[in-house]
Amino acid sequence: MTRRDGTDRALLQVLDGKPSRVPPAWMMRQAGRYLPEYREVRARAGSFLDLCYNPDFATEVTLQPIRRFGFDAAILFSDILVVPDALGQNVRFVEGEGPRLDPVHGRDEFARLKQADDPSIFQHLEPVFETVRRLRSELPAETTLLGFCGGPWTVASYMIGGRGTPDLAPARALADTETALVEALIDRLVSVQIEYLSRQLEAGADAVQIFESHAGSLPRAPGATADALQHWSFAPIARIVDGVRARVPGAKIIVFARGSGLEGHARVMAETGADAVGVDWSVDLKALRGAVTPRTVTQGNIHPETLIEGGEALDAAVDGVLEATEGLPHIFNLGHGITPQTPIAHVERMLARLRR
C-alpha cells in the first residue's frame, strides 16, 4: 500500500542506506529534447528561461518522463544558471549554442551582483518554488521529487567565462590572479544556494542534488594540487550541505562531482558530508565501490553514448551496474545527462533490463 507521507518512496529508502533489489532509477536531463512532448512545450514556451520560470510549463515537462517511463524520481525542471540570473547577471540561452552571460571579469562586475541576503533574489526565483509545490501535489506518492542547484565552482565558472569553456581557462586564470575576488564570489554563491535549496525542500522537494559538473577542471589545473578540488569545490559544497541541514534538519543531498576521477569521487562523502555520490561515466563503478564503505550510497553511471548505441552493449552496461552494486545502496542513473539524439526505445530497453 502506498503511504502519503512518502516514507515508502524507493529512492529515499536507498538514500537512507537501505539497498534495494532493483535500484530506483532516474536520468539526468530526463526532461529534454529527446522527447517530442518536451520539444512541443519548449516551442510554445518562448525562450528556455521563459520555460524555466513558467510553473505551468515547467511542471508539465518535469512530469513527462515520469508518465512515459515511470522513473522513481522526478527532477525539477529548471537550470543551474537561474541563480546568476537572479543575482542580476544578464543570462540568456542561444539556440544551438548554449548559455551566454555578461562575464564577471573583475571587481566592477562583481560589485554589480546582488548581495546574498537581497530578498529580490528569491522573489525572482519564486516561480521555481511554485513549480516544486505543484509537482509534489501532482506526482504519484511513490515518486521522489528532486530539487537541485549548481556547485559554486561550476556556477562561478559560467559567471566568469560567460559561457561553457572546455577547460575553464577564464575561471582558473581569475582564481589565480584575483583569488580573493573568486573566493568572495564562491562565498556569495554558497549563501544563496543554501537559501535556494532550503526553500526547494520547504516547498516539497524530498532531496536535492548539487551538480558540480566542472569539478574535473580542478585537479588538472596547471600546478594544481589535490587541494584545488578541496578548496574550490568540496569545501564550499560542505558549507552548503551544513547550511541546508541547519535550516532543514535531515535534508538528503546527492553530490555529483563530474570529472573528479576515482579519487575525487571516493572523497565526496567524507569531504562534503553528502548522503550519496553521483558517479560519472569515466569512473569504474566496481573500483569505486571497492574504494568506499559498503554503506556509501552511489548513483550512476551508464555512459550516455552507450544509451545511444542501445542493443547488447546497453544490456551489458545495465548488467555491469547491477553486478557492481548488488546488495549495496545504489541509485540507477546515467553518468551525465541524456543527449537529444537518444532513441526513446533505448531508454525503454534500459529500464526493462533493469527491472526484469
Smaller CB separation from ligand CP3, 46 or 98: 98
Cβ atoms within 10 A of the Cβ of 56, count? 12
Q: Which among 34, 38, 53, 158 is annotated as catalytic? A: 158
Asked if 196 is an active-site residue, the reply is: no
* 282 is known to lie in a ligand binding site: no
- Of residues 152 through 171, those in contact with ligand CP3 by CB under 6 A are 164
336 is in an annotated binding site: yes
Q: Is 158 annotated as a binding residue?
A: yes
Residue 3 Cβ vs ligand CP3, minimum distance, rounded to whole Å: 27
Residues in 188-217 at the binding interface with ligand CP3, rule: CB under 6 A: 211, 213
Nearer of residues 17 and 164 to ligand CP3, judged by Cβ:
164
As given in the structure block, the three cell numbers for residue 142 are: 511513490
42 is catalytic: yes
What's the CA gap between 242 and 171, in Å, rounded?
26
Q: Residue 9 or residue 42: which is nearer to ligand CP3 going by CB?
A: 42
**Shortest Cβ 175–ligand CP3 spacing (Å):** 18
79 catalytic? Reply is yes
Residues 262-281 that bind ligand CP3 (CB under 6 A): none
The reply to whether 32 sits in an annotated binding site is: yes
Which is nearer to ligand CP3, 6 or 164 (by Cβ)? 164
Told to check if 100 binds ligand CP3 by CB under 6 A, we report no
Nearer to ligand CP3, 79 or 271 (CB): 79
Label the pairing between strands 91-94 and 207-212.
unpaired
Q: Is-catalytic flag, 172?
A: no
78-86, 105-113, 297-305, 317-325 -> range binding ligand CP3 (CB under 6 A):
78-86
220 an active-site residue?
Answer: no
| 79 near ligand CP3, rule: CB under 6 A | yes
The answer to the question of whether 226 is labelled as a binding residue is no
Residue 150 annotated as binding site: no
Q: How big is the site for ligand CP3, counted in residues (CB under 6 A)? A: 22
Footprint of ligand CP3 on 18-77 (CB under 6 A): 28-33, 42, 48, 75, 77
Report the b/e string of 159-186 with b at 16+ CB within 10 A. bbbbeebeebebbbebbeebeebbeebb
Q: Which residues are annotated as a binding site?
A: 29-33, 79, 158, 213, 336
Applying CB under 6 A, the residues found at the interface with ligand CP3 are: 28-33, 42, 48, 75, 77-81, 93, 98-99, 148, 164, 211, 213, 337
Q: Would you name the residues annotated as active-site residues?
A: 29, 33, 42, 79, 158
